[in-house]
Homo-oligomer: A and B are copies of this chain.
Amino acid sequence: MSEYNAPLQDIRFVMQELAGLDQVVGLPDYRDATPDVVDAILEEAAKFAGGVLAPLNRAGDTDGAKWKDTVVTTTPGFKEAYRQFVDNGWNSVSCDPEFGGQGLPRLLATAVSEMWKAANHAFSLCPMLTQGAIEALTIAGNAEQKAAFLPKLISGEWTGTMNLTEPSAGSDLAAVRSRAEPVGDGTYKVFGQKIFITYGEHDMADNIIHLVLARTPNAPEGVKGISLFVVPKFLLKADGSPGERNDVYCVSIEHKLGIHGSPTAVLAFGDHGGAIGTLVGEENRGLEYMFIMMNAARFNVGLEGLGDAERAYQRAAAYAKERIQGTELGVKGGPKVPIIKHPDVRRMLLSMRSRVEAMRSLAYVVAAAQDNARHNPDENARQEAQAFADLMIPVVKGWSTESAIDIASTGVQVHGGMGFIEETGAAQHLRDARITAIYEGTTAIQANDLIGRKIAREKGVTIKAVIDDMFVDAARLDGDLEAVGIRQMAAIAALDRAVDWLVANFAANPKAAHAGAVPFLFLLGITAGGWQLGRAAVIARAKIAAGDKDPFWPAKLATTRFFAAHSLTQAAGLAEAILSGGEGALEMADESF
Protein backbone atom coordinates (compact mmCIF):
# COMPACT_ATOMS: atom_id res chain seq x y z
CA MET A 1 0.00 0.00 0.00
CA SER A 2 2.93 2.39 0.35
CA GLU A 3 4.09 1.84 -3.19
CA TYR A 4 4.63 4.67 -5.58
CA ASN A 5 4.56 4.06 -9.30
CA ALA A 6 5.53 7.11 -11.27
CA PRO A 7 2.69 7.82 -13.73
CA LEU A 8 5.09 7.65 -16.65
CA GLN A 9 2.47 7.40 -19.35
CA ASP A 10 0.76 10.63 -18.34
CA ILE A 11 4.10 12.31 -17.67
CA ARG A 12 5.32 11.42 -21.16
CA PHE A 13 2.04 12.42 -22.76
CA VAL A 14 2.00 15.81 -21.06
CA MET A 15 5.66 16.48 -21.85
CA GLN A 16 5.28 15.46 -25.46
CA GLU A 17 1.83 16.60 -26.48
CA LEU A 18 1.00 19.50 -24.19
CA ALA A 19 4.35 21.00 -23.18
CA GLY A 20 6.01 20.51 -26.58
CA LEU A 21 9.02 18.42 -25.62
CA ASP A 22 10.27 18.30 -29.21
CA GLN A 23 10.34 22.06 -29.44
CA VAL A 24 12.06 22.34 -26.06
CA VAL A 25 14.80 19.84 -26.84
CA GLY A 26 15.26 21.64 -30.15
CA LEU A 27 16.40 24.76 -28.30
CA PRO A 28 20.10 25.45 -28.87
CA ASP A 29 21.33 24.58 -25.38
CA TYR A 30 19.30 21.43 -25.01
CA ARG A 31 20.55 19.46 -28.00
CA ASP A 32 22.00 16.80 -25.64
CA ALA A 33 18.51 15.97 -24.49
CA THR A 34 17.75 13.50 -27.24
CA PRO A 35 14.57 11.45 -27.03
CA ASP A 36 16.63 8.46 -25.84
CA VAL A 37 18.28 10.46 -23.09
CA VAL A 38 14.95 11.90 -21.94
CA ASP A 39 13.38 8.48 -21.89
CA ALA A 40 16.22 6.89 -20.02
CA ILE A 41 16.21 9.62 -17.40
CA LEU A 42 12.46 9.27 -16.84
CA GLU A 43 12.77 5.50 -16.48
CA GLU A 44 15.66 5.69 -14.06
CA ALA A 45 14.06 8.45 -12.03
CA ALA A 46 10.89 6.40 -11.74
CA LYS A 47 12.95 3.45 -10.48
CA PHE A 48 14.83 5.55 -7.96
CA ALA A 49 11.67 7.27 -6.74
CA GLY A 50 9.71 4.04 -6.40
CA GLY A 51 12.56 1.84 -5.24
CA VAL A 52 14.63 4.04 -2.94
CA LEU A 53 12.73 7.15 -1.86
CA ALA A 54 9.14 5.95 -1.57
CA PRO A 55 9.94 3.10 0.84
CA LEU A 56 11.49 5.66 3.24
CA ASN A 57 8.49 7.98 3.21
CA ARG A 58 6.68 6.41 6.11
CA ALA A 59 9.81 6.13 8.25
CA GLY A 60 10.39 9.82 7.63
CA ASP A 61 6.99 10.43 9.16
CA THR A 62 7.13 8.10 12.14
CA ASP A 63 10.82 8.44 12.89
CA GLY A 64 11.49 12.00 11.81
CA ALA A 65 14.55 14.16 12.21
CA LYS A 66 15.83 14.43 15.80
CA TRP A 67 17.74 17.26 17.51
CA LYS A 68 20.22 16.97 20.36
CA ASP A 69 22.79 19.55 21.42
CA THR A 70 22.83 21.43 18.09
CA VAL A 71 23.14 18.17 16.13
CA VAL A 72 20.33 16.92 13.89
CA THR A 73 20.05 13.26 13.01
CA THR A 74 17.83 12.45 10.06
CA THR A 75 15.56 9.44 9.65
CA PRO A 76 17.46 6.15 9.38
CA GLY A 77 17.99 5.51 5.68
CA PHE A 78 17.81 9.14 4.55
CA LYS A 79 21.57 9.63 4.66
CA GLU A 80 22.22 6.54 2.56
CA ALA A 81 19.47 7.42 0.12
CA TYR A 82 20.90 10.90 -0.23
CA ARG A 83 24.34 9.42 -0.95
CA GLN A 84 22.80 7.30 -3.72
CA PHE A 85 20.87 10.29 -5.01
CA VAL A 86 24.08 12.27 -5.34
CA ASP A 87 26.10 9.38 -6.72
CA ASN A 88 23.53 8.81 -9.42
CA GLY A 89 23.79 12.44 -10.45
CA TRP A 90 20.22 13.37 -9.66
CA ASN A 91 21.16 16.59 -7.93
CA SER A 92 22.60 18.15 -11.05
CA VAL A 93 19.96 17.44 -13.67
CA SER A 94 19.11 21.00 -14.64
CA CYS A 95 22.27 22.72 -13.37
CA ASP A 96 24.81 24.71 -15.33
CA PRO A 97 27.30 22.46 -17.17
CA GLU A 98 30.03 25.03 -16.47
CA PHE A 99 30.07 23.89 -12.86
CA GLY A 100 29.37 20.22 -13.41
CA GLY A 101 25.65 20.29 -14.05
CA GLN A 102 23.90 18.31 -16.76
CA GLY A 103 22.14 21.32 -18.23
CA LEU A 104 18.96 19.43 -19.09
CA PRO A 105 15.69 21.23 -19.76
CA ARG A 106 13.58 22.39 -16.87
CA LEU A 107 10.70 20.49 -18.43
CA LEU A 108 12.57 17.27 -17.81
CA ALA A 109 13.75 18.39 -14.38
CA THR A 110 10.13 19.14 -13.55
CA ALA A 111 9.01 15.63 -14.39
CA VAL A 112 11.84 14.19 -12.36
CA SER A 113 11.12 16.54 -9.45
CA GLU A 114 7.49 15.51 -9.40
CA MET A 115 8.64 11.96 -8.83
CA TRP A 116 10.93 12.83 -5.89
CA LYS A 117 8.18 14.86 -4.29
CA ALA A 118 5.53 12.21 -4.75
CA ALA A 119 7.85 9.50 -3.50
CA ASN A 120 9.13 11.34 -0.46
CA HIS A 121 8.13 14.95 0.07
CA ALA A 122 10.27 15.40 3.20
CA PHE A 123 13.41 14.00 1.56
CA SER A 124 12.93 16.01 -1.63
CA LEU A 125 13.17 19.29 0.25
CA CYS A 126 16.88 18.88 0.79
CA PRO A 127 17.85 18.94 -2.92
CA MET A 128 15.19 21.57 -3.56
CA LEU A 129 16.76 23.99 -1.10
CA THR A 130 20.19 23.21 -2.51
CA GLN A 131 18.80 24.15 -5.91
CA GLY A 132 17.74 27.50 -4.48
CA ALA A 133 21.23 28.18 -3.17
CA ILE A 134 22.70 27.20 -6.53
CA GLU A 135 20.44 29.67 -8.28
CA ALA A 136 21.20 32.50 -5.89
CA LEU A 137 24.93 32.03 -6.32
CA THR A 138 24.62 31.59 -10.07
CA ILE A 139 22.66 34.82 -10.38
CA ALA A 140 24.58 37.01 -7.99
CA GLY A 141 27.68 35.26 -6.69
CA ASN A 142 31.13 36.47 -7.65
CA ALA A 143 33.66 34.24 -9.40
CA GLU A 144 35.27 33.22 -6.14
CA GLN A 145 31.98 32.27 -4.52
CA LYS A 146 30.91 30.35 -7.60
CA ALA A 147 34.16 28.45 -7.72
CA ALA A 148 34.09 27.73 -4.00
CA PHE A 149 30.52 26.58 -3.66
CA LEU A 150 28.81 25.75 -6.95
CA PRO A 151 30.62 22.53 -7.90
CA LYS A 152 29.95 20.95 -4.49
CA LEU A 153 26.37 22.19 -4.36
CA ILE A 154 25.68 21.01 -7.88
CA SER A 155 27.13 17.58 -7.23
CA GLY A 156 25.14 17.51 -3.99
CA GLU A 157 28.14 16.81 -1.78
CA TRP A 158 27.12 19.94 0.06
CA THR A 159 23.58 21.17 0.56
CA GLY A 160 22.10 24.66 0.66
CA THR A 161 19.52 26.57 2.66
CA MET A 162 17.51 29.79 2.40
CA ASN A 163 17.47 31.89 5.57
CA LEU A 164 14.74 34.49 5.28
CA THR A 165 12.26 34.17 8.12
CA GLU A 166 12.71 35.57 11.62
CA PRO A 167 10.20 35.45 14.46
CA SER A 168 8.82 38.90 13.54
CA ALA A 169 9.57 38.68 9.83
CA GLY A 170 7.49 36.09 8.06
CA SER A 171 5.51 37.21 5.03
CA ASP A 172 6.84 40.71 5.76
CA LEU A 173 10.56 40.54 5.01
CA ALA A 174 10.88 44.29 5.54
CA ALA A 175 11.03 43.40 9.22
CA VAL A 176 14.26 41.37 8.92
CA ARG A 177 16.58 42.29 11.82
CA SER A 178 19.61 40.00 11.36
CA ARG A 179 22.76 42.07 10.84
CA ALA A 180 26.09 41.66 9.10
CA GLU A 181 29.12 43.65 10.18
CA PRO A 182 32.06 44.06 7.80
CA VAL A 183 35.24 42.71 9.32
CA GLY A 184 37.46 44.68 6.99
CA ASP A 185 38.92 41.76 5.08
CA GLY A 186 36.00 41.43 2.74
CA THR A 187 34.13 39.11 5.08
CA TYR A 188 31.25 39.90 7.39
CA LYS A 189 30.22 38.74 10.82
CA VAL A 190 26.57 37.73 10.75
CA PHE A 191 24.34 37.90 13.83
CA GLY A 192 20.72 36.98 14.30
CA GLN A 193 18.17 34.22 14.65
CA LYS A 194 16.47 32.61 11.69
CA ILE A 195 13.48 30.30 11.98
CA PHE A 196 11.75 27.77 9.72
CA ILE A 197 15.02 26.87 8.00
CA THR A 198 14.40 23.72 6.00
CA TYR A 199 17.32 21.29 6.34
CA GLY A 200 19.09 24.08 8.24
CA GLU A 201 21.02 21.35 10.04
CA HIS A 202 21.35 17.64 9.23
CA ASP A 203 23.79 14.78 8.86
CA MET A 204 23.40 14.01 5.16
CA ALA A 205 26.23 16.11 3.71
CA ASP A 206 29.73 17.33 4.59
CA ASN A 207 28.84 20.98 4.56
CA ILE A 208 25.74 23.18 4.57
CA ILE A 209 25.83 26.47 2.69
CA HIS A 210 23.45 29.00 4.21
CA LEU A 211 22.15 31.90 2.12
CA VAL A 212 21.16 34.51 4.68
CA LEU A 213 19.26 37.79 4.51
CA ALA A 214 20.73 40.41 6.85
CA ARG A 215 21.29 44.15 7.17
CA THR A 216 24.62 45.88 6.95
CA PRO A 217 25.30 48.78 9.32
CA ASN A 218 23.44 51.94 8.28
CA ALA A 219 21.41 50.06 5.69
CA PRO A 220 18.09 51.74 4.86
CA GLU A 221 14.99 50.54 6.69
CA GLY A 222 12.57 48.15 5.02
CA VAL A 223 13.13 45.83 2.10
CA LYS A 224 15.64 48.16 0.45
CA GLY A 225 18.19 47.60 3.18
CA ILE A 226 18.49 43.84 3.04
CA SER A 227 21.58 42.12 1.72
CA LEU A 228 22.32 38.50 0.93
CA PHE A 229 25.20 36.60 2.50
CA VAL A 230 26.64 33.16 2.05
CA VAL A 231 27.55 31.57 5.37
CA PRO A 232 28.90 28.02 5.29
CA LYS A 233 28.46 25.72 8.28
CA PHE A 234 32.13 24.84 7.97
CA LEU A 235 34.51 27.55 6.75
CA LEU A 236 36.53 26.45 3.77
CA LYS A 237 40.20 25.58 4.08
CA ALA A 238 42.68 26.88 1.51
CA ASP A 239 42.14 23.73 -0.53
CA GLY A 240 38.39 24.36 -0.55
CA SER A 241 37.52 21.51 1.78
CA PRO A 242 35.43 22.06 4.94
CA GLY A 243 37.56 23.27 7.84
CA GLU A 244 36.75 25.20 10.99
CA ARG A 245 33.19 25.17 12.37
CA ASN A 246 31.45 28.48 11.68
CA ASP A 247 29.40 30.26 14.35
CA VAL A 248 25.99 29.09 13.17
CA TYR A 249 24.20 26.53 15.30
CA CYS A 250 20.87 24.81 15.29
CA VAL A 251 19.23 25.59 18.62
CA SER A 252 16.10 23.53 18.01
CA ILE A 253 13.91 21.99 15.35
CA GLU A 254 10.16 22.35 15.06
CA HIS A 255 7.49 19.84 16.01
CA LYS A 256 5.32 19.98 12.92
CA LEU A 257 2.02 18.69 11.54
CA GLY A 258 3.82 16.96 8.69
CA ILE A 259 7.05 16.51 6.71
CA HIS A 260 8.60 15.12 9.88
CA GLY A 261 11.50 13.75 7.89
CA SER A 262 12.56 17.28 6.97
CA PRO A 263 14.28 19.09 9.84
CA THR A 264 12.93 22.64 10.24
CA ALA A 265 15.66 24.44 12.11
CA VAL A 266 15.95 27.46 14.32
CA LEU A 267 19.45 28.75 13.51
CA ALA A 268 21.44 31.06 15.75
CA PHE A 269 24.03 33.06 13.84
CA GLY A 270 26.86 34.71 15.73
CA ASP A 271 26.15 33.76 19.35
CA HIS A 272 29.85 33.06 19.81
CA GLY A 273 31.47 36.06 18.17
CA GLY A 274 29.87 36.14 14.74
CA ALA A 275 29.25 33.78 11.85
CA ILE A 276 31.69 34.46 9.03
CA GLY A 277 30.07 35.12 5.67
CA THR A 278 30.58 36.95 2.45
CA LEU A 279 28.27 39.32 0.62
CA VAL A 280 26.47 37.90 -2.40
CA GLY A 281 26.13 40.45 -5.20
CA GLU A 282 25.63 44.05 -4.21
CA GLU A 283 24.69 45.43 -0.83
CA ASN A 284 20.97 46.09 -0.27
CA ARG A 285 19.90 44.00 -3.25
CA GLY A 286 19.41 40.82 -1.27
CA LEU A 287 15.68 40.67 -1.59
CA GLU A 288 15.87 40.99 -5.36
CA TYR A 289 18.22 37.96 -5.60
CA MET A 290 16.05 36.04 -3.18
CA PHE A 291 13.01 36.73 -5.30
CA ILE A 292 14.60 35.40 -8.46
CA MET A 293 15.47 32.19 -6.71
CA MET A 294 12.14 32.17 -4.92
CA ASN A 295 10.29 32.05 -8.22
CA ALA A 296 11.95 28.69 -8.88
CA ALA A 297 11.26 27.58 -5.35
CA ARG A 298 7.61 28.57 -5.66
CA PHE A 299 7.24 26.59 -8.85
CA ASN A 300 8.84 23.65 -7.08
CA VAL A 301 6.46 23.89 -4.15
CA GLY A 302 3.64 23.73 -6.69
CA LEU A 303 5.19 20.46 -7.81
CA GLU A 304 5.12 19.28 -4.21
CA GLY A 305 1.38 19.83 -4.24
CA LEU A 306 1.20 17.82 -7.44
CA GLY A 307 3.39 15.09 -5.97
CA ASP A 308 1.49 14.78 -2.69
CA ALA A 309 -1.78 14.73 -4.63
CA GLU A 310 -0.60 12.05 -7.07
CA ARG A 311 0.62 9.87 -4.21
CA ALA A 312 -2.64 10.34 -2.30
CA TYR A 313 -4.55 9.39 -5.46
CA GLN A 314 -2.50 6.26 -6.06
CA ARG A 315 -3.00 5.11 -2.49
CA ALA A 316 -6.73 5.78 -2.57
CA ALA A 317 -7.22 4.09 -5.94
CA ALA A 318 -5.29 1.03 -4.80
CA TYR A 319 -7.37 0.80 -1.63
CA ALA A 320 -10.62 1.26 -3.53
CA LYS A 321 -9.77 -1.68 -5.81
CA GLU A 322 -8.89 -3.88 -2.87
CA ARG A 323 -11.32 -3.05 -0.09
CA ILE A 324 -14.46 -5.18 -0.27
CA GLN A 325 -17.57 -3.56 1.16
CA GLY A 326 -21.21 -3.67 0.16
CA THR A 327 -22.82 -4.85 -3.04
CA GLU A 328 -23.00 -3.10 -6.37
CA LEU A 329 -25.78 -0.56 -6.67
CA GLY A 330 -28.74 -2.04 -8.52
CA VAL A 331 -27.48 -5.62 -8.10
CA LYS A 332 -29.81 -6.93 -5.40
CA GLY A 333 -28.32 -9.82 -3.47
CA GLY A 334 -25.19 -9.59 -5.57
CA PRO A 335 -21.72 -10.43 -4.30
CA LYS A 336 -19.67 -8.10 -2.13
CA VAL A 337 -17.61 -5.83 -4.34
CA PRO A 338 -14.55 -3.63 -4.09
CA ILE A 339 -15.61 -0.12 -3.14
CA ILE A 340 -14.43 1.25 -6.48
CA LYS A 341 -17.79 0.01 -7.77
CA HIS A 342 -19.63 2.57 -5.62
CA PRO A 343 -20.50 5.79 -7.49
CA ASP A 344 -19.34 8.15 -4.76
CA VAL A 345 -15.98 6.42 -4.47
CA ARG A 346 -15.54 6.89 -8.21
CA ARG A 347 -16.56 10.51 -7.85
CA MET A 348 -13.96 11.02 -5.13
CA LEU A 349 -11.24 9.28 -7.10
CA LEU A 350 -11.95 11.26 -10.24
CA SER A 351 -12.13 14.50 -8.30
CA MET A 352 -8.59 13.68 -7.19
CA ARG A 353 -7.27 12.37 -10.47
CA SER A 354 -8.79 14.97 -12.77
CA ARG A 355 -7.24 17.74 -10.73
CA VAL A 356 -3.90 15.95 -10.55
CA GLU A 357 -3.84 15.68 -14.34
CA ALA A 358 -4.86 19.31 -14.73
CA MET A 359 -2.18 20.44 -12.27
CA ARG A 360 0.48 18.35 -13.98
CA SER A 361 -0.47 19.62 -17.42
CA LEU A 362 -0.34 23.24 -16.37
CA ALA A 363 2.92 22.86 -14.43
CA TYR A 364 4.71 21.16 -17.30
CA VAL A 365 3.51 23.72 -19.81
CA VAL A 366 4.87 26.42 -17.50
CA ALA A 367 8.15 24.50 -17.20
CA ALA A 368 8.48 24.48 -20.98
CA ALA A 369 7.80 28.22 -20.99
CA GLN A 370 10.65 28.67 -18.53
CA ASP A 371 12.92 26.76 -20.91
CA ASN A 372 11.88 28.99 -23.76
CA ALA A 373 12.27 32.09 -21.63
CA ARG A 374 15.89 31.15 -21.09
CA HIS A 375 16.95 29.57 -24.32
CA ASN A 376 14.67 30.45 -27.20
CA PRO A 377 16.82 32.17 -29.82
CA ASP A 378 13.95 34.51 -30.68
CA GLU A 379 13.81 37.54 -28.40
CA ASN A 380 10.02 37.92 -28.73
CA ALA A 381 9.48 34.27 -28.02
CA ARG A 382 11.69 34.55 -24.94
CA GLN A 383 9.78 37.54 -23.63
CA GLU A 384 6.41 36.01 -24.30
CA ALA A 385 7.43 32.79 -22.59
CA GLN A 386 8.80 34.70 -19.60
CA ALA A 387 5.60 36.70 -19.25
CA PHE A 388 3.52 33.52 -19.39
CA ALA A 389 5.73 31.79 -16.82
CA ASP A 390 5.67 34.83 -14.52
CA LEU A 391 1.90 34.94 -14.74
CA MET A 392 1.41 31.25 -14.09
CA ILE A 393 4.02 30.46 -11.43
CA PRO A 394 1.87 31.86 -8.59
CA VAL A 395 -1.00 29.79 -9.97
CA VAL A 396 1.07 26.60 -10.15
CA LYS A 397 2.15 27.30 -6.59
CA GLY A 398 -1.13 28.48 -5.06
CA TRP A 399 -3.69 26.44 -6.92
CA SER A 400 -1.77 23.16 -6.96
CA THR A 401 -1.02 23.32 -3.26
CA GLU A 402 -4.49 24.30 -2.10
CA SER A 403 -5.94 21.62 -4.37
CA ALA A 404 -3.45 19.12 -2.99
CA ILE A 405 -4.71 19.66 0.55
CA ASP A 406 -8.25 18.93 -0.57
CA ILE A 407 -7.15 15.99 -2.70
CA ALA A 408 -5.16 14.44 0.14
CA SER A 409 -8.13 14.96 2.45
CA THR A 410 -10.35 13.20 -0.09
CA GLY A 411 -7.79 10.40 -0.13
CA VAL A 412 -8.35 9.97 3.60
CA GLN A 413 -12.10 9.91 2.99
CA VAL A 414 -11.84 7.13 0.37
CA HIS A 415 -10.27 4.96 3.10
CA GLY A 416 -13.20 5.50 5.48
CA GLY A 417 -12.29 4.80 9.10
CA MET A 418 -8.95 3.34 8.07
CA GLY A 419 -8.00 6.72 6.65
CA PHE A 420 -7.95 8.18 10.13
CA ILE A 421 -5.54 5.50 11.37
CA GLU A 422 -1.97 6.68 10.95
CA GLU A 423 -0.61 3.25 9.97
CA THR A 424 -2.72 3.37 6.80
CA GLY A 425 -0.56 6.19 5.46
CA ALA A 426 -3.31 8.27 3.85
CA ALA A 427 -3.28 10.83 6.65
CA GLN A 428 0.42 11.53 6.14
CA HIS A 429 -0.26 12.97 2.70
CA LEU A 430 -2.78 15.39 4.18
CA ARG A 431 -0.38 16.42 6.93
CA ASP A 432 2.52 16.75 4.50
CA ALA A 433 0.53 18.62 1.85
CA ARG A 434 -0.74 21.15 4.38
CA ILE A 435 2.57 23.05 4.46
CA THR A 436 2.73 23.57 0.70
CA ALA A 437 0.11 26.35 0.77
CA ILE A 438 2.15 28.15 3.41
CA TYR A 439 5.88 28.07 2.78
CA GLU A 440 7.69 29.97 0.03
CA GLY A 441 4.87 32.48 0.26
CA THR A 442 1.34 31.70 1.39
CA THR A 443 -1.49 31.43 -1.10
CA ALA A 444 -2.42 35.04 -0.37
CA ILE A 445 1.14 36.15 -1.12
CA GLN A 446 0.96 34.29 -4.44
CA ALA A 447 -2.44 35.76 -5.19
CA ASN A 448 -1.36 39.31 -4.39
CA ASP A 449 1.68 38.86 -6.63
CA LEU A 450 -0.62 37.53 -9.35
CA ILE A 451 -3.18 40.32 -9.36
CA GLY A 452 -0.64 43.03 -8.69
CA ARG A 453 2.70 42.50 -10.39
CA LYS A 454 1.46 40.02 -13.00
CA ILE A 455 -1.88 41.52 -14.04
CA ALA A 456 -2.78 44.99 -12.82
CA ARG A 457 0.68 46.49 -13.34
CA GLU A 458 0.51 45.72 -17.07
CA LYS A 459 -3.27 46.20 -17.30
CA GLY A 460 -3.82 42.53 -18.02
CA VAL A 461 -1.91 42.38 -21.31
CA THR A 462 -0.41 38.92 -20.80
CA ILE A 463 -3.48 37.32 -19.30
CA LYS A 464 -5.69 38.74 -22.04
CA ALA A 465 -3.44 37.09 -24.62
CA VAL A 466 -3.66 33.83 -22.69
CA ILE A 467 -7.44 34.15 -22.57
CA ASP A 468 -7.46 34.53 -26.36
CA ASP A 469 -5.44 31.33 -26.68
CA MET A 470 -7.83 29.59 -24.32
CA PHE A 471 -10.83 30.61 -26.43
CA VAL A 472 -9.17 29.30 -29.59
CA ASP A 473 -8.47 25.95 -27.95
CA ALA A 474 -11.93 25.75 -26.40
CA ALA A 475 -13.48 26.19 -29.84
CA ARG A 476 -11.97 22.82 -30.77
CA LEU A 477 -14.09 21.13 -28.09
CA ASP A 478 -16.95 20.35 -30.42
CA GLY A 479 -18.99 17.28 -31.29
CA ASP A 480 -18.87 14.73 -28.49
CA LEU A 481 -16.76 17.16 -26.46
CA GLU A 482 -19.27 19.96 -26.81
CA ALA A 483 -20.42 19.74 -23.18
CA VAL A 484 -16.81 20.17 -22.09
CA GLY A 485 -16.40 23.04 -24.55
CA ILE A 486 -19.44 24.89 -23.25
CA ARG A 487 -18.18 24.64 -19.67
CA GLN A 488 -14.69 25.67 -20.71
CA MET A 489 -16.07 28.69 -22.58
CA ALA A 490 -18.15 29.67 -19.57
CA ALA A 491 -15.12 29.43 -17.33
CA ILE A 492 -12.99 31.53 -19.68
CA ALA A 493 -15.74 34.12 -19.87
CA ALA A 494 -15.90 34.22 -16.07
CA LEU A 495 -12.13 34.63 -15.93
CA ASP A 496 -12.33 37.42 -18.48
CA ARG A 497 -14.96 39.26 -16.43
CA ALA A 498 -12.84 38.91 -13.33
CA VAL A 499 -9.73 40.24 -15.10
CA ASP A 500 -11.60 43.28 -16.36
CA TRP A 501 -12.93 43.97 -12.90
CA LEU A 502 -9.52 43.56 -11.28
CA VAL A 503 -7.80 45.83 -13.76
CA ALA A 504 -10.52 48.44 -13.27
CA ASN A 505 -10.50 48.23 -9.48
CA PHE A 506 -6.94 47.45 -8.50
CA ALA A 507 -5.85 51.03 -8.04
CA ALA A 508 -9.22 52.54 -7.18
CA ASN A 509 -10.35 49.93 -4.64
CA PRO A 510 -7.20 48.09 -3.61
CA LYS A 511 -8.76 46.37 -0.60
CA ALA A 512 -11.73 45.16 -2.63
CA ALA A 513 -9.39 43.83 -5.30
CA HIS A 514 -7.17 42.07 -2.79
CA ALA A 515 -10.14 40.50 -1.01
CA GLY A 516 -10.76 38.66 -4.29
CA ALA A 517 -7.14 37.79 -4.97
CA VAL A 518 -7.23 34.19 -3.74
CA PRO A 519 -10.58 33.37 -5.37
CA PHE A 520 -9.10 34.83 -8.56
CA LEU A 521 -6.04 32.63 -8.28
CA PHE A 522 -8.34 29.61 -7.97
CA LEU A 523 -10.43 30.79 -10.92
CA LEU A 524 -7.34 31.11 -13.09
CA GLY A 525 -6.04 27.74 -11.90
CA ILE A 526 -9.28 25.96 -12.69
CA THR A 527 -9.68 27.63 -16.07
CA ALA A 528 -6.06 27.09 -17.09
CA GLY A 529 -6.18 23.49 -15.85
CA GLY A 530 -9.35 22.93 -17.86
CA TRP A 531 -7.67 24.53 -20.88
CA GLN A 532 -4.84 22.01 -20.77
CA LEU A 533 -7.17 19.06 -20.15
CA GLY A 534 -9.26 20.26 -23.07
CA ARG A 535 -6.19 20.23 -25.31
CA ALA A 536 -5.46 16.73 -24.05
CA ALA A 537 -9.01 15.58 -24.77
CA VAL A 538 -8.85 16.77 -28.37
CA ILE A 539 -5.69 14.72 -28.86
CA ALA A 540 -7.23 11.71 -27.10
CA ARG A 541 -10.28 11.89 -29.33
CA ALA A 542 -8.10 11.96 -32.41
CA LYS A 543 -6.11 8.93 -31.22
CA ILE A 544 -9.28 6.97 -30.59
CA ALA A 545 -10.66 7.99 -33.99
CA ALA A 546 -7.40 6.79 -35.54
CA GLY A 547 -7.98 3.36 -34.02
CA ASP A 548 -5.58 3.57 -31.08
CA LYS A 549 -6.90 1.10 -28.49
CA ASP A 550 -4.79 2.27 -25.56
CA PRO A 551 -7.14 2.68 -22.54
CA PHE A 552 -5.14 5.80 -21.69
CA TRP A 553 -7.19 7.76 -24.25
CA PRO A 554 -10.72 7.05 -23.02
CA ALA A 555 -9.41 7.58 -19.48
CA LYS A 556 -8.18 11.02 -20.50
CA LEU A 557 -11.59 11.82 -21.92
CA ALA A 558 -13.18 10.69 -18.67
CA THR A 559 -10.97 12.87 -16.48
CA THR A 560 -11.56 15.85 -18.77
CA ARG A 561 -15.33 15.38 -18.69
CA PHE A 562 -15.31 15.02 -14.95
CA PHE A 563 -13.14 18.11 -14.49
CA ALA A 564 -15.50 20.07 -16.71
CA ALA A 565 -18.55 18.97 -14.74
CA HIS A 566 -17.08 19.40 -11.25
CA SER A 567 -14.30 21.99 -11.44
CA LEU A 568 -15.05 24.25 -14.41
CA THR A 569 -18.60 24.66 -13.14
CA GLN A 570 -17.20 26.47 -10.09
CA ALA A 571 -15.75 29.24 -12.24
CA ALA A 572 -18.82 31.44 -12.54
CA GLY A 573 -19.38 31.38 -8.78
CA LEU A 574 -15.77 32.33 -8.14
CA ALA A 575 -16.08 35.25 -10.53
CA GLU A 576 -19.16 36.42 -8.66
CA ALA A 577 -17.29 36.20 -5.37
CA ILE A 578 -14.43 38.24 -6.81
CA LEU A 579 -16.77 40.87 -8.21
CA SER A 580 -18.46 41.17 -4.84
CA GLY A 581 -15.34 43.11 -3.86
CA GLY A 582 -14.86 41.83 -0.36
CA GLU A 583 -18.52 42.38 0.56
CA GLY A 584 -18.93 41.47 4.21
CA ALA A 585 -15.23 40.94 4.82
CA LEU A 586 -14.21 44.58 4.51
CA GLU A 587 -17.18 46.14 6.27
CA MET A 588 -16.96 44.04 9.43
CA ALA A 589 -15.51 45.96 12.36
CA ASP A 590 -12.20 44.55 13.63
CA GLU A 591 -13.64 44.21 17.14
CA SER A 592 -16.54 42.16 15.82
CA PHE A 593 -14.31 39.33 14.59
Contact = CB atoms under 8 A, between A and B. Distances in A.
A243 interface: no
A569 B573 contact: yes
B569 A347 contact: no
Contacts of A577: 565-566, 569
Nearest to A412: B434
B592 A558 contact: yes
B448 A344 contact: yes
A168 interface: yes
A421 B196 CA distance: 10
A576 interface: yes
Overall SS of chain A's interface:
helix
A171 to B, nearest CB: 6
Nearest to A435: B420
Contacts of A168: 324-325
A51 interface: no
A347 B582 contact: yes
Interface string A305-343: 000000000000100110011100110000010001111
Interface stretch (A39-47, A438-446, A461-469): A438-446
Contacts of A92: none
Nearest to A565: B580
Contacts of A170: 325, 416-417
A570 interface: yes
Nearest to A517: B344
A244 interface: no
Contacts of A358: none
A559 B583 contact: no
A443 B412 CA distance: 12
A569 B439 CA distance: 30
A559 to B, nearest CB: 6
A561 B584 contact: yes
Nearest to A574: B569
A438 B419 contact: yes
Interface string A552-593: 101101111111111001111110110010111111111111
Interface string A474-515: 000000000100010000000000000000000000111011
A353 interface: yes
Query: In the complex, which of the residues A258, A409, A555, A577 has the most CB atoms of chain B within 10 Å of its own CB atom?
Result: A577
A584 B570 contact: no
A342 B551 contact: no
Contacts of A590: 321, 340-341
A29 to B, nearest CB: 37
24 contacts: A170-B325, A171-B326, A172-B326, A255-B422, A256-B420, A257-B412, A257-B430, A329-B510, A330-B510, A330-B511, A340-B590, A343-B514, A344-B514, A347-B582, A406-B406, A417-B438, A420-B434, A555-B592, A557-B584, A558-B587, A559-B584, A561-B587, A564-B584, A565-B580
